[in-house]
């Protein structure tokens, strides 16, 4: 951390004392951090917390993303991935296509398969259950992280089932964890502007609450740098923090910088580099009960993700292999990274690479071949 006189000069001495005493920051504290002109001072404070929690360990995962379909009824303006059924570029994989994608990577040491799609108007729950079972058959020991809270609520509506029943069925099929997507920002104002058809913020939190109660851990995200205010970002973080107090079910938080290309958000450019780093740092400082912060290289770019390790992030995500959501929105990052590249990025930044599974257990200690 920088000398306390620096923080005194910036009017943040009380915030530093709260962080050092492990006291919770208020939304007002968060706003002062966001408004602080000294990025390095805010980053150094977040780095202090990151060092306290994880030392120099920096996590990565050998994973495979699979999108089973981009057909979606929601029409979110920030999403360049979605298509209507029959529109050029729309796709949907069959159960055997999904199995084939997993089979193609059998020699890669993948420990996590991450499966998400759109809110398809007809795809039945039994089909997605079959996809999960097929992944499990092809790769019995892999961890399956699948379906956002938005997809879960969509399956429930389509099938006339409760959220709980959908989660119970997917868990029985082999889903072990939910990814953090679909949260966007919870603000009803922003959702009315950008994704009025989508599950509400309250609905997203309720799905996660049910999942956590069933023993299904999850991640959480925040899409930032579009139409939201700093206050709305902080309210989003606070809502996650309050649910985490209740359930302890969130493993990792992922701030997702908005990629504007090919989207329909009027006038939005996406966050600047400084805003990305400050948002990661403020997230680390506000989310005192969520253990991990991910610098998702796909959306940040590999170089910025590496720098983010000094601004509160302790995870780089993984090999990914085939990413569509960010790249269809113009993300300029690589399509995939190798284990060697991830380890090099971490080591070159002065940290210690630790291969993890989706629960952040050391991968070597888990029973994955």
- The single residue listed with the structure tokens 């980053």 is 43
Min dist CB 103 to ligand V47, Å, is: 23
Helices marked H in 105-229: 125-138, 149-159, 163-173, 188-194, 201-213
- Is residue 253 involved in binding ligand V47 (CB under 6 A)? no
Q: Which residue is nearest to ligand V47 (CB)?
A: 181
Nearest C-alpha neighbor of 337 from the set 353, 324, 320, 349: 320
Cα separation, 98 vs 149, in Å, equals: 21
- Is residue 113 involved in binding ligand V47 (CB under 6 A)? no
Nearer to ligand V47, 16 or 295 (CB): 295
| Bridge partners (DSSP) listed for residue 355 | 60
What are φ and ψ of residue 8, in 5° steps?
-60, -45
Per-residue contact track with ligand V47, 136 to 165, x per CB under 6 A?
A: ------------x-----------------
Nearer to ligand V47, 58 or 263 (CB): 263
Computed from CA positions of residues 1, 255, 128, 169, in that sequence, does the dihedral angle turn out positive or negative? positive
Alpha carbon 163 to chain centroid distance? 21
Nearer to ligand V47, 26 or 206 (CB): 206
Residue 28 tokens, joined: 């007002």
Query: Which one of the spans 101-109, 168-176, 179-187, 190-198 is the region binding ligand V47 (CB under 6 A)?
Result: 179-187
Per-residue contact track with ligand V47, 200 to 239, x per CB under 6 A?
A: -------------------x-x-x----------------
Min dist CB 263 to ligand V47, Å, is: 5
Min dist CB 347 to ligand V47, Å, is: 23
Nearer to ligand V47, 138 or 329 (CB): 329
- Is residue 263 involved in binding ligand V47 (CB under 6 A)? yes
Cα separation, 180 vs 116, in Å, equals: 10
Computed from CA positions of residues 143, 148, 153, 157, in that sequence, does the dihedral angle turn out positive or negative? negative
Q: Residue 218: which H helix or E strand, with range?
A: strand 217-224
- Is residue 181 involved in binding ligand V47 (CB under 6 A)? yes
Q: Distance from first CA to last CA of the chain, Å, rounded?
A: 41
- Is residue 78 involved in binding ligand V47 (CB under 6 A)? yes
Burial class (CB in 10 A: 0-12, 13-18, 19+), 62: buried
Per-residue contact track with ligand V47, 277 to 306, x per CB under 6 A?
A: -------------------x--x-------
In this chain, which of 15, 239, 325, 368 binds ligand V47, going by CB under 6 A? 325
Nearest C-alpha neighbor of 33 from the set 230, 298, 238, 185: 230
- Count Cα atoms within 13 angstroms, Cβ side, for 354: 19
- Is residue 318 involved in binding ligand V47 (CB under 6 A)? no
Query: Which one of the spans 32-40, 121-129, 237-245, 255-263 is the region binding ligand V47 (CB under 6 A)?
Result: 255-263
Nearer to ligand V47, 19 or 293 (CB): 293
- Is residue 7 involved in binding ligand V47 (CB under 6 A)? no
In this chain, which of 10, 42, 46, 79 binds ligand V47, going by CB under 6 A? 79
Computed from CA positions of residues 272, 274, 277, 281, in that sequence, does the dihedral angle turn out positive or negative? negative
Query: Which one of the spans 11-19, 78-86, 284-292, 347-355 is the region binding ligand V47 (CB under 6 A)?
Result: 78-86
Cα separation, 355 vs 50, in Å, equals: 18
In this chain, which of 43, 179, 312, 353 binds ligand V47, going by CB under 6 A? 179
In this chain, which of 184, 235, 314, 355 binds ligand V47, going by CB under 6 A? 184
Chain contacts with ligand V47 (rule: CB under 6 A) = 78-80, 148, 179-182, 184, 219, 221, 223, 254, 256, 258-259, 263, 296, 299, 317, 325-326, 329
């Amino acid at each position: 951390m920088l000398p306390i006189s620096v923080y005194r000069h910036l009017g943040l001495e009380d915030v530093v004392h709260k962080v050092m005493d492990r006291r919770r920051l208020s939304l007002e504290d968060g706003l002062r951090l966001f408004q602080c002109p000294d990025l390095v001072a805010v980053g150094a404070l977040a780095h202090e917390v990151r060092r306290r929690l994880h030392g120099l360990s920096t996590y990565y995962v050998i994973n495979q993303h699979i999108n089973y379909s981009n057909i979606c009824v929601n029409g979110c303006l920030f999403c360049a991935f979605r298509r209507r059924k029959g529109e050029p570029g729309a796709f949907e994989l069959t159960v055997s296509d999904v199995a084939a994608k997993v089979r193609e990577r059998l020699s890669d040491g993948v420990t996590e398969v991450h499966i998400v799609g759109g809110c398809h108007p007809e795809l039945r729950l039994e089909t997605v259950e079959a996809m999960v079972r097929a992944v499990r058959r092809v790769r019995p020991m892999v961890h399956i992280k699948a379906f956002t809270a938005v997809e879960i609520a969509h399956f429930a509506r389509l099938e006339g089932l409760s959220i709980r029943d959908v989660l119970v069925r997917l868990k029985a099929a082999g889903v072990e964890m939910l990814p953090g997507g679909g949260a966007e920002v919870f603000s009803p104002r922003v959702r009315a502007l950008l994704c009025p058809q989508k599950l509400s913020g309250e609905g997203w939190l309720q799905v996660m609450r049910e999942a956590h109660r069933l023993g299904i851990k999850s991640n959480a995200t925040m899409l930032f740098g579009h139409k939201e205010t700093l206050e709305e970002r902080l309210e989003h973080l606070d809502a996650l923090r309050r649910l985490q107090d209740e359930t302890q079910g969130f493993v990792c938080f992922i701030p997702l910088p908005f990629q504007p290309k090919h989207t329909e958000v009027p006038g939005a450019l996406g966050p600047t580099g400084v805003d990305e780093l400050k948002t990661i740092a403020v997230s680390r400082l506000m989310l005192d009960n969520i253990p991990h912060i991910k610098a998702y290289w796909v959306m940040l770019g590999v170089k910025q993700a590496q720098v983010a390790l000094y601004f509160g992030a302790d995870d780089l995500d993984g090999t990914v292999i085939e990413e569509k959501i960010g790249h269809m929105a113009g993300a300029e990052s690589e399509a995939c990274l190798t284990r060697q590249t991830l380890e090099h990025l971490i080591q070159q930044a002065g940290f210690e690479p630790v291969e993890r599974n989706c629960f952040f257990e050391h991968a070597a200690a888990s029973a994955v071949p």
